[in-house]
Amino acid sequence: MNTMTPAILAATTNLGPKFMLIVPEAVLFVGAVLCAVMGLSHVRAFRALVPWVAVVALIATFATMLKVWTPEAATAAQLPMPMLGKYIIALLCVVGVGHVLASIGSVDRAVERQVASGTGAFDPVRVIQGEFYAFILLSLCGGMLLCHATDLVWLFLAFELCSLPTYVLVAIGRGADRSMEAAIKYFFLGAMSTATLLLGFAFLYGATGTLELSAMRESFQMQAQTGGIGSVAIVGMLLAVIGICFKLAAVPMHFYAPDVYEGASSPVAAFISFVPKVQGFVTLIVLLGTVGWSANGDSSIPPVIAAVLWMIAVLTMTLGNIGALLQRSAKRMLAYSSIANSGYMLVGILAGPTIGIDATLLYLLTYGVANLATFGSLAAIERNGHEVDSIDDLAGLRVRAPMVAAALAIGALSLTGIPPLLGFWGKLDLFVASAESHQRTLLVIMALNSGVAAFYYLRLVAMPFVQEATPRTQGVSPVPSVWPRLSALIFAAGCIALPFFANQLKGEAAAAARTDLDKQATVAQSVEK
């Protein structure tokens, strides 16, 4: 024991609290293994239970998180943002259940029909349902583990655990050549972004001599007091930010999104439009916390990094909205919409922790709910047995699928920011954060972009309810499975009901945005008194 260094002693002492906090992720991992194994069963009833195992695993993860994730346990684990994990795990579990429901009936549909009718024999090589739901759970697990990161190694491994399953999901979620093309493009561009991120981490390590986030922050604070943060650290952080932009579908790594979303199935497109965004913003918040944000909550990000983030935010929201205006494909339009929404959320990052990070976290929730209502509606309908993608196919949908049309309209209106729907409160919080941080120019640009976005979102409302059905749309009908339709309706109802709890949601987001520096500042103030 006497030969152990202080660093090893500290790490050993800290293992207990950390292990307790990853119990929810362990539960989710067990669920992923069960899904993978049950999907290979020759018993059709077992295979049919796979999505419900995924749902139960997410509910159990949520319940376990409520039990183990306490302020005391998070503080003992020395996490940079002690309560961020509780918020993110809850968000991913709730929205994850919606994603699982939206995909029921779309995976192995033709194969299972042949097996049930006796025209085909069961072949474990051909079925993919077990792997599909296992990869969903593993990706969600990686997003949750990001909140536990106290060093760059953990951060990178969790980042990749969240990313790698999404590449496979794009490839297997839809039996078409277009999905293979989308998966290849997504994978190779993702590999490039990972290399950029790792190069940034290498520069950060070289600038500080440590992989620990807390030690890195202390090093940057000392550098700031003795002449400013060095150019090596600035370059490293900028490279990391560019690598993260791929997950956010933000400029300059945004161009893959329309092709990948169009090639993926609607449930997978819904998944990759939200979960990687959560992954990217959590990583960005944790990294920027090492180089900025003082104990009093001020945004003290180095000017060069702040200027780059400002340009990325403006270009992302502007190019995203302009691109969406030009689309006739619903999924391509929502892909550009996803790009624009990343630009909005970067405004909260620029505003800093006390007024902006909580706004970004709240907007992630509002976007996730409204986005799932919209994509879930597309997953709930088909045209002659194939996915509906063209906006023109939505004409007169109120006649053939009135509930789906209503869910689509509510989701689109919430994404627009129409009061009193949930999306309005998310955008309002970002506007307030921008104003309070004196980002007036950014506020005006965001307001103008929100106005532009209304034009294409309202097309998703007008086509089902204003336009009359055409001969082309006569083949549009609900999919055989009721669960995608139910998922869309549940989250559309959330867009209406959750605003009644806006203050509570805002409070949870504010608690998640607090850093361990806030506690240090409180202690220092009490000592001075």
Q: Which residues contact 471 (CB under 8 A, 6 or more apart)?
A: none
69-108 pLDDT, tens digit each: 988 888 887 888 889 999 999 999 999 999 999 999 888 7
- The answer, yes or no, to whether residue 296 has pLDDT greater than 60, is no
Domain ranges in the chain are: 19-523
Report the range of poorest mean pLDDT among 66-70, 172-176, 473-477. 172-176
pLDDT digits (tens, 9 = 90+) for 357-385: 999 999 999 999 999 999 999 999 998 87
pLDDT of 148 over the 80 cut: yes
Residue position matching structure tokens 């150019």: 231
* Section 440-444 average pLDDT: 92
Q: What's the whole-number mean pLDDT along residues 258-279?
A: 93
What is the model's pLDDT at position 175? 61
Q: Rounded to two decimals, what is the model's pTM?
A: 0.92
* CA separation, residue 511 to residues 69, 362, 495, 519 (Å): 13, 11, 22, 12
Mean pLDDT, the chain, rounded, equals 88
Indicate whether 122 pLDDT > 90: no
468-493 CB burial, b ≥16 within 10 A, e <16: eeeeebeebeebebebbbbbbbbbbe
* Position 40, amino acid: L
Q: State the virtual CA torsion across 478, 481, 486, 491 in degrees, nearest 10.
A: -80
Contact 276, 146 (CB under 8 A): no
* pLDDT, tens digit (0-9, with 9 covering 90-100), for 190-248: 999 999 999 999 999 999 999 999 899 989 888 888 877 888 999 999 999 999 999 99
pLDDT computed for residue 11 by the predictor = 46
Structure tokens at 262: 């169009």
Tally: H helices and E strands in the chain: 25, 3
Of the candidates 270, 458, 507, the one whose C-alpha atom is nearest the C-alpha of residue 367 is: 270
Sign of CA dihedral 211, 213, 214, 215: positive
Cis peptide leading into 480, omega within 30 of 0?
no
Distance of CA 93 to the CA centre of its chain: 12
